[in-house]
Structure 1
Amino acid sequence: MRNNCVGAAGNSGVPGIVGTAGEPGLKGESGDSAGGAVYTRWGRTTCGSDAVLVYQGFTGGSRRFLKGGGANYQCMAYDAEYNSRNTFFANISSIVGTEYETYNFGIFSSSARNQNAPCAVCQAKTRSSVIMIPGKRNCPTNEWTLEYEGYLMSGFSEDNGKTTFECVDAQPEYRHGEGADNDGSGMFFNRVICQQGVPCPPYKSNNAITCVVCTN
């Protein structure tokens, strides 16, 4: 009768010689061009810190004294492109240039009043988040990069339409030759009302509210 018992395992052999390393693979494409935090710098034509300019434009908005239209400001590209074949529509909304309605408060230069506001769309390629903080002049921690500081501005409280609050650069530029008082779309400073649930101090009733734009 055949014996089906298995014998004991033998000792392991000596490891073989390590083979030659293969050639390096192809380098992948860099993702820098598509990533990063994107923000609009209102009131300027350049970007802060090490951010890259995506495009320059002018600040557009709906006319102040109309009840309808858009609520937010738009950074309108200078080099407009059109697709529609029509040159006029009967029932449309309108975008006009946005003026600094800053008067003589001693915050912006007196020459800025009624001038049209430019804007710049910027990309911080090495960062992924952007935040605007109203009421601050500095970023939260050292992990955040200051892009710019400014003043919290919006449409006038007695206008028919509402606008968004935006952080306008503390050192604004303006479009020369556009100083006519058109009362189209406007940017006004904001203050708090201390009797309406606002902690005073640290807020003050008659000071223009500041703001800061930070990336991380």
Structure 2
Amino acid sequence: MLQLITKNKKIFVKTSIQFFLIFLLVFLFSMGDYSQLVEAVSGNYSKVDGNNLTRDDWNVLDEDFVDREGDTMGTNLNLNNHRIVGVNTNPANSSDLANVGYIDSLLVSSQGGYVYTNWGRSNCSGSDTLLYSGFGFNSIYTVISGGSNNICIQLPFNATSSFVYALNSNSRTDGLYPLMTSDPSQLPPEMSTMYRNYIECAVCFRRNSSCIESVGSFNCTMPGFNYKAYDGYVLGGEIPGSHYHSQERICVNRSMHINTNSAPYGAVAYGSRIRNNFGMSEYGIDRFIPCAVCCNN
């Protein structure tokens, strides 16, 4: 009986040691995979100029981008717009997989921004993206109805090729006319040579930014809003006079493109100025109003 108990103890000890060794191997193996996972998640595989990716580095990349254990990569890997083919580096294709740094850069570049209209020009400031350009339109100056807001209509050849204006000759519609500047005496001196000028427009996108229209100054000196997209003067409808249409005021670029014409007035924009300050002497009477579009980035 004693011998049987001793024998069973030996078997138990031996089995316990075997299980412990198996557990230890599994633990060590899992630690190796875990360390690679940590490297992959932290993006610790950026290629530095002059260095080559080692086999271990590639294994980390493989672990990071395959769908599940055992899968292989079905295409090349995009490393900051370059792909690895053997020992050579070639321009990446749109179908290549992307590393963490490349994806992060795309995420940053895809963040929101601000859309503004550069009235008077067909282009945008600096690196801002031109969404489309065209000319301003509004109701004719002789009517008291119609929308008061100026709209920037893109040139037909810039619009989607499948888009065709729907034809309707009925007079009872919201009739639009090209927006143009008034006569020289009704404009700021800087813009007096731009009279009867069709007002171009550009719809622009500034990435990762917010913008405001600063009225009363050419400068962008507000805290945090120091980038100037453009500056100009405020233009609007005529008061008083025979031009009845109430028109939205807009900030028109003082470096506007010249499109002078001899056509009859359509929608007309006049220089805006203060006619009476009722004792608020800080605001000069009959002064034209400067303006600027200011952004915080």
Normalised by the length of structure 1, the TM-score is 0.80
Matched, 1:163 2:247: yes
Instruction: Output aligned runs, 1:59-74, within 5 Å.
Output: 59-74=136-151
Matched, 1:48 2:88: no
What amino acid sits opposite 1:122 in the alignment? C
Q: Rg: which structure is higher?
A: 2
Q: Provide structure 1 residue ranges, at least 5 long, that are not aligned to the other structure.
A: 1-13
Q: How many residues align?
A: 196
2:205 match: secondary structure: strand
1:11 alignment partner in structure 2: none
Deviations 1:144-170 (A, max 9, x none): 311111101111123312111110011
Contact 1:59 1:75 in 2 (8 A): yes
Matched, 1:208 2:291: no
CA spacing shift, 1:116–1:83, aligned 2, 3 Å: closer
Task: Give the structure, 1 or 2, with the largest relative contact order (CA under 8 Å, sep 6 or more).
Answer: 1
What amino acid sits opposite 1:168 in the alignment? V
Contact 2:125 2:230 in 1 (8 A): yes
Q: Residue 181 of structure 1: CA displacement?
A: 4.2
Contact 1:46 1:53 in 2 (8 A): yes
Deviations 1:39-72 (A, max 9, x none): 0000011111321111111011110111111101
1:196 alignment partner in structure 2: 278
2:172 alignment partner in structure 1: 91
> Larger helix proportion, structure 1 or 2?
2
Deviations 1:157-189 (A, max 9, x none): 2331211111001111133xx512412111111
Deviations 1:103-131 (A, max 9, x none): 14522142x1112110111011131x221
Distance 1:34 1:87 in 2: 41
Distance 1:57 1:183 in 2: 19
Distance 1:189 1:76 in 2: 22
- Which among 17, 24, 28 is matched to residue 64 of structure 2? 24
Contact 1:49 1:146 in 2 (8 A): no
Matched, 1:122 2:135: no
Distance 2:165 2:180 in 1: 28
CA spacing shift, 1:187–1:194, aligned 2, 3 Å: same
Contact 2:137 2:150 in 1 (8 A): yes
Distance 1:209 1:161 in 2: 21
Distance 1:191 1:83 in 2: 37
Q: Provide structure 2 residue ranges, at least 5 long, that are not aligned to the other structure.
A: 1-23, 38-62, 66-97
1:106 alignment partner in structure 2: 189
2:42 alignment partner in structure 1: none
1:146 alignment partner in structure 2: 228
Contact 2:211 2:225 in 1 (8 A): no
Distance 1:24 1:62 in 2: 60
Q: Which structure 1 residue ranges, 4+ long, deviate > 6 Å from structure 2?
A: none
Q: Residue 32 of structure 1: CA displacement?
A: 3.3
Distance 1:182 1:192 in 2: 27
